[in-house]
Amino acid sequence: MSKNKLYLAPSMGCCDLFDFKHQVEFIDKKADFLHIDIKDGNYVKTYSIGPDFMKTLKPVVKTPMDAHLMVKHPQWIIEECAKAGATYITPHTDCIESDAFVTIHKILDLGCKAGIALNPSTSLETIRYYLPLLSKVTIMIVDAGYAGQEVIEQMYEKIQTLVQWRNDMKLDFLIEADGSMNADVYGPLYEAGADVVVLGPPALWNKDKDIEKAWSIMQKEVENALIHVSRK
């Protein structure tokens, strides 16, 4: 992790369909990860893109794609996500409670990197025993599936605890923050120990209709937020 840098993971389902090709090509050159939210309308109350979306992106992007599975039964689509080109596959803890090790090993056996996502109320203790298998842990800083929420500030402490565990266990997984991202939280998230931030419309697309201008505004906000903060 570079000094005073947050890795950026735009949520690609937010791309403007009328400017899709341009936005994908531009973001692919700028982003560190491409975040792919897959929702089933069951685990969360909204629907979104699926593995076919990644299959469409696969021939034209070089940036690693992360399939964030906000689905009740992720086991059903893990193989599809791997075939579609996902580098990371990230289910939620409460959807793999009864078969966590089987699910994670399946992701790894398919040649992908395993991630895990935790809702704000989910304890870190739920993932302690399989942390060594993970390449990324996503901390939801709002409840999954509901737009327009205020960031839950206790999640900064949760990230700090996870950083301490990572150091104590001598592991090297990435810590990602997801939800209601905006200029006010980049600094606190970085200071807490987050490595990656997921960018939705308020953080990126709403900044300007022109994706290149929007990216420039967002990037300046990130840079300004990190000027006076440091890791503990």
Global pTM reads: 0.94
More confident: 49 or 26 = 26
The rounded distance, in Å, linking the Cα atoms of 11 and 196 is 12
Q: Which of 40, 52, 99, 178 is catalytic?
A: 178
Give yes or no for a contact between 38 and 50, defined as CB atoms under 8 angstroms apart: yes
The rounded distance, in Å, linking the Cα atoms of 57 and 211 is 18
More confident: 4 or 229 = 229
Indicate if the pLDDT at residue 232 is higher than 80.
Answer: no
CATH annotation of 7-226: 3.20.20.70
Residues 32-49: what's their mean pLDDT?
A: 85
pLDDT band with cut points at 50, 70 and 90 for residue 147? low
More confident: 74 or 231 = 74
Residues 32-37: what's their mean pLDDT?
A: 97
pLDDT of residue 1: 46
96: Cβ contacts below 8 Å, ≥ 6 apart: 74, 75, 103, 104
pLDDT tens sequence across 48-102: 889 999 999 999 999 999 999 999 999 999 999 999 999 999 999 999 989 999 9
DSSP letter at 129? G
pLDDT of residue 12: 97
Exposed e or buried b per residue across 22-39, where buried means at least 16 C-beta atoms within 10 angstroms of its C-beta: ebbebbbeebbbbbbbbb
Residues 130-139: what's their mean pLDDT?
A: 98
Indicate if the pLDDT at residue 3 is higher than 60.
Answer: no
pLDDT band with cut points at 50, 70 and 90 for residue 146? low
pLDDT of residue 145: 62
The rounded distance, in Å, linking the Cα atoms of 131 and 191 is 22
Instruction: Specify whether 178 is catalytic.
Output: yes
**Domain assignments of the chain as residue spans, ordered by start:** 7-226
Instruction: Specify whether 37 is catalytic.
Output: yes
Q: Which of 37, 40, 66, 195 is catalytic?
A: 37
DSSP lists the bridge partners of residue 48 as none
Question: Nearest to residue 88, comparing CAs of 38, 44, 42?
Answer: 38
